[in-house]
Amino acid sequence: MATRADQIRDALAALAPSHLEVHDESHMHSRGLETHYKAVIVSEAFAGKRAIQRHQLAYRTLGEQMQRIHALALHTFTPEEWAAEARVPDSPTCRGGSKHDRPA
């Protein structure tokens, strides 16, 4: 059975990425399993698009899957940007506040 990260990866393949990483970062957060993801997408489909347009394209590509994801950090690059940068910032640690947190 495919994990949600696999499903995200499979859907984002529609963008014909030259580089694609999908990381399940749920262990860093307090909302449970398979809830928080980071995706690094390098695609010609992003050429000439602003960051918000790139994110909207990724969200449309994921379609209904977005309903099952609590958080998705997107890092989108054209191949030229990736060749020059090839670096993605570390994700922040969870600051809590989830309704799933248990009182101390």
What domains are defined for the chain?
A: 4-85 (3.30.300.90)
What pLDDT was estimated at residue 91?
75
Measure the CA angle with vertex 61, ends 45 and 71; round to 5°: 110
Query: Between helices 51-62 and 4-12, what is the axis angle to 10°?
Result: 120
Residue 42's beta-bridge partner residues?
19, 77
Q: Where are the beta strands (DSSP E) in 1-104?
A: 19-24, 36-42, 71-77
Phi and psi angles of residue 81, each rounded to the nearest 5 degrees, phi first: -65, -40
What pLDDT was estimated at residue 8?
95
pTM beyond 0.85, yes or no: no
Note the pLDDT tens digit of each residue in 16-29. Answer: 999 999 988 876 65
